[in-house]
Each structure stands twice: as C-alpha cells, then as structure tokens.
Amino acid sequence: MSPPPPARTRRVDLVRLRRALPADVAAALDRYERHLAMERGLSPHTVRAYLGDVVALLVHLADGTPDNATVEAIDLTGLRSWLASQHSAGASRTTMARRAASARTFTAWAARNGLLTVDPGPRLSAPRPHRTLPAVLRPDQAGAAMAVAELGAEQGDPVALRDQAVVELLYATGVRVAELCGLDLDDVDYSQRVIRVLGKGSRERTVPFGVPAERAIRRWVEYGRSALVNDRSQRALLLGARGGRLDPRTARRVVHDVVGAVPETADTGPHGLRHSAATHLLEGGADLRTVQELLGHATLATTQLYTHVTVERLKAIHDRTHPRS
C-alpha cells in the first residue's frame, strides 16, 4: 500500500476541488463555514478539517468529478461508501471516526437548512477510535527540558527567549498550543500569576502559572519581544521571527527541539507537555475536577481519558484509606 500523501498536499488538493464545485454547492459550503466559525465558535484548524471532509465526501459521491457534486446526493448508502473508501485507503480508526462525525455535523446542518429532506447522519456508524496517550515526561525529564530552554535563553537571543517562554508556559499551564499562540499581552496577570485563555467553543478560563514561567515571560516581553515587534505584532504575546503572531507549527517545532535535546526522552510536542502537566498534577495530589478546569475540558469523562494516574499513586491512596490495606 502506498503511503498517504503529505497533509499539505492533501490540503492543496481539497482547496482545488472546492473551487471546482458548482456555484450552488460552493455557496452552501460558504454558509456552512460561517456557521462553524461564528455560531459554533470552532477553531480555524477544526473548520478547515470539517470543510475538507465535506468536500471529499461530495467529490466521492460525484465519482471524482467535483463539477457534478450535489448536496442532495448525500444519503446513508453514499456515506457508508465514502467511509469504506477511507478504510480501503488505509485510514486509521481514529481518522474514520472523526470523518464520520464531520459528515454527521454537515448532514444535520444541511437538513436544518432545507438542503436535505432527510438527515442520514444519525444512522451512520463508524468504528470507535483507539484511545492513545501521548508520551509523558517524568518530572525530572520535564525539568531537564526547561533547563535546556533556559540555557539557550541565557545568550539573550530574542528567539531563544521566546522559546523558553513557550515551553515554560505550556508545561506550567497545560494549555493547548492554539490557546498559547492566541494569548495577548493583556491576557497575562503578573500580580496573580494567571493567564486568561480562550478555549474551544469560545469558553474562557483562567489558568495559573508558577515563578519560573513568570520569569521567562517577563524576560521575553522586556528583552525578546521588544526586538521583534513591528506593525504586524499588534497585542500578541508571542511573536514569530518576522514579528507576526506565533504560529502553532513553530511552537510545535520549538517543543520537539527542546525535548529532543534531553537524552533518553521520548519525542513529544505541545500535546505531550499538556499531558505531562496534567499527569504531574494528579501525581501531586490534584483531583480530577481541578485538572478538568485547568485543561478546559467540557466533561470530566474527557479528563479521565486524557490523564492517567500512576500505579504508585493508586497504591498510596489505597494504603492510606482502605481499612484492609
């Protein structure tokens, strides 16, 4: 089986296919895009993924000819055929589950807006995704990664100062990388040592950080940001090398480079630092409800799946609380 095309190539193909859709279908997708972004408050990345799935579905139902695509062609048989083609192409269970959910979201919207007479989405089933956890750093490994970032920042290079602020904030707060990059200067409260984060679904929350992160942020803002700031910077807290708001892809590369410099440490990115932060909080005695609030999860079930408690901590709780331990 040939390897899947790179993600960038797939995005370019989907953009080209979307432009080839009939005018009425393109107009419907424009309305759907506004619905996802403005009414549901989804992130730009999620909106692109949802739209890409719908474009791929419509082109599949039109036998690969985008100018023949119609929304009315979507039915249960077509949805199942599309998922079957994904499976044949080697899509993972997680990918198929996400694309099925994306299709159901679109068919529900299309039915509400009169583009479909019947919504076939509720009858569409997909394999449950495998729950995989990212690599988790031990506390000493996380400390070593922070030390690597601090060593680079000691030279006073603006980008190195920013990189230290990136890894310190990600590990201190457990925020998502998109949330980190969306921070403005006014979102940092140094007196309380908290940041104001705008999360998924436009839900706002307040997350604390510690002294090392405060020190890294202050050094970056005073000595690093001032060297990179320009007309593109506006009020963004973290900047790219050209002065614009820091891109999540750059933040991911920063984390991979810093963690990769620690010997015998599993390669991980911002999601791994988020998971490490949650795990270390639990191991330190934090309860799931507190971790849920810090991570910005809508339900406790997500936190339970996202975090894990070490066997040692479970044994310690058992020994301390069970009368027959």
Taking CA 286 as the corner, what is the angle to CA 148 and CA 307, rounded to the nearest 5 degrees? 70
Structural domains in the chain, sorted by start? 7-123 (1.10.150.130), 139-270 (1.10.443.10)
What percent of the chain has pLDDT above 70? Answer: 87
In this structure, of 89-93, 114-118, 129-133, 227-231, the range with the lowest mean pLDDT score is 129-133
In this structure, of 65-74, 134-143, 144-153, 158-167, the range with the lowest mean pLDDT score is 134-143
Largest CA distance in the chain: 71
What value does the mean pLDDT take over residues 167-189? 95
What value does the mean pLDDT take over residues 247-263? 94
Contact in structure between 99 and 86 (CB atoms under 8 Å):
yes
What value does the mean pLDDT take over residues 147-154? 94
Q: Is the pLDDT of residue 26 over 50?
A: yes
What value does the mean pLDDT take over residues 60-87? 92
Q: Is the pLDDT of residue 169 over 80?
A: yes
Contact in structure between 54 and 106 (CB atoms under 8 Å):
yes
Strand partners, 198: 204
In this structure, of 84-93, 225-234, 266-275, the range with the lowest mean pLDDT score is 84-93
* Cα separation, 183 vs 198, whole angstroms: 8
Give the torsion through C-alpha atoms of 247, 251, 252, 254, to 10 deg. Answer: 140
The pLDDT score that the predictor gives to residue 90 is: 85
Q: Is the pLDDT of residue 203 over 60?
A: yes
The pLDDT score that the predictor gives to residue 4 is: 46
Which tokens hold the place of 270?
A: 């911002």
Question: Which of 273-277, 279-283, 312-316 has the largest mean confidence?
Answer: 273-277
The pLDDT score that the predictor gives to residue 315 is: 65
The pLDDT score that the predictor gives to residue 8 is: 46
Q: Is the pLDDT of residue 282 over 80?
A: yes
Residues annotated as catalytic (active site), given as ranges: 176, 200, 271, 274, 297, 306
Quick: pLDDT tens for 289-319: 888 888 887 777 667 665 555 555 556 666 7
Q: pTM for this structure?
A: 0.65
Measured from the Cβ of residue 160, the count of other Cβ atoms closer than 10 Å reads 19
Q: Is the pLDDT of residue 172 over 90?
A: yes
What value does the mean pLDDT take over residues 60-86? 93
The pLDDT score that the predictor gives to residue 308 is: 57
* Cα separation, 60 vs 91, whole angstroms: 15
In this structure, of 104-113, 199-208, 272-281, 308-317, the range with the lowest mean pLDDT score is 308-317
